[in-house]
Structure formats: structure tokens, C-alpha cells
A = this chain, B = another copy of it.
């Protein structure tokens, strides 16, 4: 209703009676007004998840944060609190195929993806992306092979730290991150996986799908974990294919699925709608 500052709170904790009322009261006591709220109680794990958007005209984020911390501790919460106007800092990693990168840049320019892109990292040179307008976004060419992988990842990590990156997006970055880096980036690194997961794993999934004669192909966006392509799934989609589609057709159709699944995933993440629930996700759609 008003133009007051908006904050987004996400939390998860052991489920018990009265959490909603307790959280609502806590926010109201600080002068907050809840404008969106979504919750989910996982019957299997007994864990409770919540996302709230509230307005608070009188308090600063730091104050709200300081007040919420002891309250959250009592309820053993994992939580995040964000000024909704504070844009996430996102680093984009890409290899040769730039359909996801081009799509992200386009949507970002249009305002569909409220984020600051702090850099584009590629293991291919700038020339590969000569048709893309990067504006003032810094481009980093970090080539990599088996021998230089550790060094390259360490350069990558420095960059992540220097840029205060909140989220790393593997926008068709065809390198497997090391276990160390995957673990460091837990919960803040998203990958788009060509092919419907769980399905065809390993190399050339579209060729595998073609050989199998499937009538649907798909793509999966997921958090990166040390276990390649097995991280928590955030979003998936498919398209119909036919016997007449060649592997090249599947790759072309796959590009469309990949870019729209990744774009949707980014929008969800940037609006704090994706919460981790062990090896799964809770995704609060609007």
C-alpha cells in the first residue's frame, strides 16, 4: 500500500506451535507490517520454512537484524533478512555457448532481473562474445585446463571475494567446479543443466536422448554441490520433440528451455523465494 521500505525475511527452523504468531508479533513490535507471507511445514523432516515481506518505515536493516538475532536463536532458526531494494551482486560464468548469458543480459537491461552484475568470467576470450554488449560490466578471461585448474579457481575465488559476490551463476559454464569451491559456494551457486534431471547424465545428453527416442527433453536449474548434477533442484521445464528432430534440433530446442529455466530461477532467487531444505528446495512462487 505505502511506499515504505520493504524487507524480505526468510527462515527455517524446527516446526512447533506458534511460530507464525511469534514471528508476526516480533515484526509488529518493531513497527513492521507484513505484506507477503508464505510458509511450508515439511511433514517428513519436521522442519518449518517461511518467507515474509514486510514494510517498516522507521527502522534500519542493521537494527532489525540486531533485534531479530536473539529471537531467531531461541527458535533455532536459519534466517536471512534483506532490504528488498538492495540488489544482489551476481557473477556470471560462461564457456563458449552464450545463449543463457545473452538472455540474462537482455533481461537484466530490461529490468526483469533486479541485480548488479559484478562481472562476467569466461574460459574463452572476449572475442567469443563480440556480439554482446557488456556495457560497463568487467569481463575476465580465466582460461583453464587440468594443469591450471587450481590456480584458475583460486583467481576465481579472489574475484568472488573482491566483488562481494552474492550469487555465482553457471550460465553454461562447461567446467566442473572442484569440491572445495562447490562447498564454499554452497547455496549461492546455481547451474543450468542441459537435459532433464534425473535422466541422461554424462556427456552429450541430447545425443543420448535422441538415441533413446524420447518425446520430451528438458532442463534443470539446481544449486551446485560437490556431487555433480545432483544438487537441490530449483526449477525444471520441458518441450516436446519428435522422431524427426535431429540431435542438432534437440540442442536448439534445448537452448530455449535452458535459458527460460535459468531466467526463472534467477528471478526466484533474487526475490528470496528459494530456500534450501536438505537436498531439496522449498520454492515460494508468487
Write the residues of chain A forming the contact surface with B, with a CB cutoff of 8 angstroms: 1, 15-21, 24-25, 27-28, 33-43, 46, 55, 99, 102, 106, 109-110, 112, 131-133, 135, 196-200, 211-216, 218, 232-238, 242-246, 252, 255-256, 260, 277, 279-283, 285-286
Contact = CB atoms under 8 A, between A and B. Distances in A.
Nearest to A260: B256
A134 to B, nearest CB: 10
Given A41-B35, A43-B246, A244-B286, A236 B213 contact: no
Nearest to A279: B213
A268 B42 CA distance: 21
Contacts of A17: 33, 55
Contacts of A234: 215
18 contacts: A1-B41, A1-B46, A20-B37, A21-B24, A34-B39, A36-B41, A37-B37, A102-B106, A131-B135, A198-B212, A212-B280, A213-B281, A214-B233, A215-B283, A216-B236, A216-B238, A243-B277, A244-B286
A148 to B, nearest CB: 30
User: Which secondary structure characterizes the binding site on chain A?
Assistant: mixed
A43 B55 CA distance: 14
B215 A216 contact: no
B243 A280 contact: yes
B15 A20 contact: no
Stoichiometry, as copies per complex, reads 4
Contact of A215 (B42, B211, B235): B235
Contacts of A38: 37-38
A20 B35 CA distance: 9
Contacts of A40: 243-244
A43 B245 CA distance: 11
Contacts of A199: 196, 198-199
B39 A28 contact: no
Given A21-B34, A233-B213, A281 B243 contact: yes
Given A24-B24, A245-B286, 15 more contacts: A17-B33, A18-B33, A20-B37, A21-B34, A38-B38, A109-B131, A132-B133, A133-B133, A196-B196, A197-B214, A198-B212, A212-B279, A213-B280, A216-B237, A244-B286
A36 B246 CA distance: 15
Contact of A243 (B245, B279, B283): B283
Contacts of A34: 19-21, 39
A28 B18 contact: yes
Contacts of A41: 1, 35-36
A211 B40 CA distance: 16
